[in-house]
Amino acid sequence: MENTSSHVIAVDGLAATGKGTLARRLADHLDFAYLDTGLLYRAVGIGVLRAGGDPSDPVAAAKAAQALNPDVLVNLAQDPDLRTEVGGDAASKVGAVPEVRQALLKFQQDFAAHPPLGKKGAVLDGRDIGTVIAPHAKVKIYVEASPQVRANRRFLELRVRGENVTEASVLAELQARDARDTQRATVPTKPADDAVILDTSDMNADEAFEAALGIVEGKIKH
């Protein structure tokens, strides 16, 4: 259940739209807690791979999700394997499994309702924050950018990390992931009816942040 005393900001959008950077900056600026919910799905996907399974196998995916406990979930940011393309691909496969989404629901809703360290609010980024996890969030931002812009941003990021990819392969992988994320039967990615759409195709990170902050300040009074 959501506790209305916590300010919740939902930042949703497809892969590589810049929503993670944006959400983290909003949380820092507002002194709110921040949760990257993609990491939860990545942990499940990588968990299946590490056990020698196939992330598209619903039974293996559900088992890996049910094996994650809150102590593990709070430390996910430390695991470098999760942020790889392999991690993202596995995440989007397990994210289509209803039992996986159900197993991760309570952790996310508790985080939103009772942000850690006594913070007075929480910023969560993902695909279904505004629609499923926190439907009563005061602020919902759905971040968009064109596939070419997103592929270019992700390519530059991966190259810095030393991953061996081309821009064309990144675009193809993004489009496959978009198709899975928007067309799956369970919680397809889409903006909540009351979300504000923020198209960052022609914005740099600072401009996107300023635009998002403007949306937040219009909705939350401190």
Number of residues that bind ligand C5P (CB under 6 A): 14
Number of neighbouring beta carbons within 10 Å of residue 112: 26
Are 131 and 194 in contact, with CB atoms under 8 Å apart?
no
In sequence order, the 6+-apart residues with CB closer than 8 A to the CB of 214 are none
* Residues in a beta bridge with 197: 142
User: Which position's Cβ is nearest ligand C5P?
Assistant: 38
Q: Under the criterion CB under 6 A, does residue 47 sit at the interface with ligand C5P?
A: no
Of the candidates 46, 65, 22, 42, the one whose C-alpha atom is nearest the C-alpha of residue 211 is: 22
Binding test (CB under 6 A) with ligand C5P, winner from 7, 128, 150, 203: 128
Task: Considering only the stretches 66-74, 124-132, 144-152, 211-219, report the one whose residues sit in contact with ligand C5P under the rule CB under 6 A.
Answer: 124-132
Binding test (CB under 6 A) with ligand C5P, winner from 18, 55, 88, 130: 88
How far is residue 56's CA from residue 41's CA, in Å, rounded to a whole number? 13
Task: Considering only the stretches 21-29, 121-129, 145-153, 213-221, report the one whose residues sit in contact with ligand C5P under the rule CB under 6 A.
Answer: 121-129
Could you give the strand order of the β-sheet that contains 196-199, starting from the edge strand earlier in sequence? 33-36, 121-126, 7-13, 139-144, 196-199
Q: Under the criterion CB under 6 A, does residue 127 sit at the interface with ligand C5P?
A: yes
CB of 134 to ligand C5P, least distance (A): 11
How far is residue 15's CA from residue 126's CA, in Å, rounded to a whole number? 9
Q: Under the criterion CB under 6 A, does residue 55 sit at the interface with ligand C5P?
A: no
Q: Under the criterion CB under 6 A, does residue 15 sit at the interface with ligand C5P?
A: yes
Tokens 């759409």, residue located: 197
Binding test (CB under 6 A) with ligand C5P, winner from 34, 41, 107, 155: 41
136 vs 218 by CB, closer to ligand C5P:
136
Binding test (CB under 6 A) with ligand C5P, winner from 8, 10, 91, 145: 91
Backbone phi, psi, residue 141, to 5°: -120, 130
Using left for φ > 0, alpha for ψ between -120 and 50, and beta otherwise, residue 162 falls in left
Number of neighbouring beta carbons within 10 Å of residue 217: 12
92 vs 200 by CB, closer to ligand C5P:
92
Q: Under the criterion CB under 6 A, does residue 181 sit at the interface with ligand C5P?
A: yes
Task: Considering only the stretches 65-73, 87-95, 144-152, 168-176, report the one whose residues sit in contact with ligand C5P under the rule CB under 6 A.
Answer: 87-95
- Which residues contribute to the site for ligand C5P (CB under 6 A)? 15, 37-38, 41-42, 88, 91-92, 95, 126-128, 177, 181
